[in-house]
Structure 1
Amino acid sequence: MPPGRHDAAGLPHKRVAAGLLITDPDQRVLLVEPAYKVGWEVPGGCVEADESPYRAAIREVREELGLELTPGRLLVVDWVPATDGRSDGVMVIYDGGTLGTDTEIVVPPAELTGWAWSDTAQTAQRLPPLLARRITQARHARATGSTYYLENGVRLT
């Protein structure tokens, strides 16, 4: 076993994912449409072994959009209960900043079928309810300079 590691046999396993809240000058949210599943998401994805959530957000945005972005501050941490054969998880959203509408976004066809700027109504329509709640809270946290702790997309602090 590598130095500093411990045998974690028997300990619970949590999913961890990281994403970025990216907006345009009109405050529309950048959403992506994955090729490997139905529905829309924010740019981001699963944190890999030995990878921090912060580094995962950087990697995922590079892979999904061809952009080299430095995440800003942490906006939300959302604990999500287990469902449908999936373990519970911790999802984080960082501030991805504001991009000009002329920013060149390169979508890898194996990963995404497309992307779109989405206003508040479109975001609520495109995203599953849990993710829509998380993004609503992330937008509010950005606007107020706060960081929120959520459970299942509902703000507790």
Structure 2
Amino acid sequence: MDRFEYLASLPRKRAAASVLFFDESDRILLVEPTYKNHWELPGGVIEADESPRAGAIREIAEELALTISPGRLLAVDWVPPIPQRTEGLIFVYDGGTLSPAQRDSIRLPAEELRSWAWCDDEEAATRLTDLLARRAIAARQARAAGFTTYLEDGFAPA
């Protein structure tokens, strides 16, 4: 087997990038997809040969019509495979506090997102899946403490 064949035979992981945005009340921005029954953090799948940061920038432009330069990486979450999805790595970046002008310029792609809302932790926990709520809270805590956290299925490994 030559080097190219060997590299092509290595496992591939699904990857996605999300951005955690805040308002002046320290609430986070969530989006409501048209194709799911739960809310999400803004972001999405990282394309082939695209860096996680570049994927976050592209996804935020597509989903919210915002041109941003995300801050530091807050969390990396490995999610195990389940029957409905493959395993993956999710990168969560700090989007900072959106200005009133940025909030006013948000435009959603109607075919993909129904709405968006600012949510405190309690509201987020009711709108997000358990996994997404764990990830969002862990990323928020990492931001407050000034570090990057590693998660597995939304939990800090023991």
Match of 2:145 in 1: 144
Bigger mean CA offset, 8-17 vs 85-94: 8-17
Match of 1:110 in 2: 111
Cα drift, residue 84 of structure 1: 1.3
Match of 2:94 in 1: 95
Match of 2:67 in 1: 68
Match of 2:45 in 1: 46
Please give the TM-score of this superposition, normalised by the length of structure 1: 0.92
SS of structure 2 residue aligned to 1:6: helix
Please state if 1:121 is matched with 2:122. yes
| Percent identical | 54
Relative to structure 1, the CA distance from residue 96 to residue 6 in structure 2 (aligned partners, 3 Å threshold; closer, same or farther) is farther
SS of structure 2 residue aligned to 1:91: strand
Matching residue's letter, 1:39:
H
Please give the TM-score of this superposition, normalised by the length of structure 2: 0.91
Kindly provide the CA deviation profile for residues 109-148 of structure 1, in whole angstroms up to 9, marking residues without a partner as x: 0111110001111001100000100000000000010111
Q: How far apart, in 2, do the equivalents of 1:6 and 1:130 lie?
A: 36
Cα drift, residue 6 of structure 1: 3.3
- Aligned ranges 1:124-135 → 2 under 5 Å: 124-135=125-136
Alpha-carbon contact 1:43-1:64 (below 8 Å) kept = yes
Q: How far apart, in 1, do the equivalents of 2:125 and 2:12 lie?
A: 30
Kindly provide the CA deviation profile for residues 89-113 of structure 1, in whole angstroms up to 9, marking residues without a partner as x: 1001000110135522111101111
Matching residue's letter, 1:121:
E
Matching residue's letter, 2:34:
A
Q: How far apart, in 1, do the equivalents of 2:137 and 2:100 lie?
A: 21
Which segments of 5 or more consecutive residues in structure 1 lack a partner in the other structure?
none
- Aligned ranges 1:74-93 → 2 under 5 Å: 74-93=73-92
Alpha-carbon contact 1:20-1:96 (below 8 Å) kept = yes
Matching residue's letter, 1:125:
T
Give every structure 1 segment of 4 or more consecutive aligned residues whose post-TM-superposition deviation is greater than 6 Å.
Answer: none
Kindly provide the CA deviation profile for residues 33-83 of structure 1, in whole angstroms up to 9, marking residues without a partner as x: 112222110010000011111000000000000100111000000111000
SS of structure 2 residue aligned to 1:140: helix
Q: How far apart, in 1, do the equivalents of 2:150 and 2:157 lie?
A: 6
SS of structure 2 residue aligned to 1:106: coil
SS of structure 1 residue aligned to 2:39: coil
Q: Which structure has the highest helix share of the two?
A: 2
Q: How far apart, in 2, do the equivalents of 1:15 and 1:38 lie?
A: 22
Which segments of 5 or more consecutive residues in structure 2 lack a partner in the other structure?
none
